[in-house]
Amino acid sequence: MPERSATLQAFLASMHATIQARTHASDPAALAAGRIFAALEESGSSNPRQPKQVPACAYLEDALLAATQAGRSGTEHASALADLAPNLAWYTRPGSDDVDERFATGHANATIIGTGGLEECPNVRIGVSLLAPDVHYPDHRHPPEEVYVPLSPGAWRQDDGPWREPGLDGIVYNPPNILHAMRSASAPLLATWCLWGE
């Protein structure tokens, strides 16, 4: 079995534990997480990346510090993310220059598990997103269902429904193919996410 670093294993374990702590066992988010983390019990092929930063990463340190000091259910997960962060290759969403400059320079994503991430695993993608203050991450959709783990204040929307703030002990679950968006207010938005799709 290929080796998984202790840092990555601690991150994955903390993510699953945080989702479990924030959900009931029968919630769709808990069931999706169960499938995702069961698939990760065996490590996939490791794929060390050349770490890379984009402009919005200027907010990463403050966002991580706030998340690790929040004293809420995500504290341990935020610490594990802080340990992993120096290894990540951050990128902006393809085509984001066409949206507007505030979005193009105000967001950063990094893949942790999946194509372009630190480890490959069929059917699973795990990553992290960061928004600078007052940035709107536009509507998007994808076939896999998705669970976001908020580690900061921020708001999420599905279809043309209301903006909702899950809070620092909340979870966002996006069913397959649903249109969804997120936005930050005065603080940076930091959230990890995982997707399951066969």
Tell me the per-residue interface mask from 119 to 148 with Fe ion, x by CB under 5 A, - otherwise.
---------------------------x--
Residue found under tokens 């984001």 = 96
- Which amino acid, residue 108? A
**Residue 57 near residue 107, CB atoms below 8 Å:** no
CA distance linking residue 180 with residue 127, whole number of Å: 17
Closest distance of CB 70 from Fe ion, Å: 23
Closest distance of CB 144 from Fe ion, Å: 9
Nearest to 59 by CA among 192, 189, 161: 189
Nearer to Fe ion, 100 or 139 (CB): 139
Site for Fe ion in 45-64 (CB under 5 A): none
Burial of 5 (0-12, 13-18, 19+ CB in 10 A): middle
Closest distance of CB 195 from Fe ion, Å: 7
C-alpha pair distances (Å), 94 with each of 4, 97, 98, 99:
29, 8, 9, 10
Closest distance of CB 141 from Fe ion, Å: 8
Closest distance of CB 166 from Fe ion, Å: 14
Nearer to Fe ion, 4 or 183 (CB): 183
Nearest to 119 by CA among 17, 41, 61, 63: 41
Site for Fe ion in 8-27 (CB under 5 A): none
- Binders of Fe ion: how many residues, by CB under 5 A? 1
Nearer to Fe ion, 11 or 173 (CB): 173
Nearer to Fe ion, 68 or 129 (CB): 129
Site for Fe ion in 146-165 (CB under 5 A): 146
Closest distance of CB 189 from Fe ion, Å: 13
Per-residue buried b or exposed e for 119-133, using 16+ beta carbons within 10 Å of the residue's own CB: bbbeebbbbbbbbbe
Nearer to Fe ion, 19 or 43 (CB): 19
- Which amino acid, residue 27? D
Binding site for Fe ion (CB under 5 A): 146
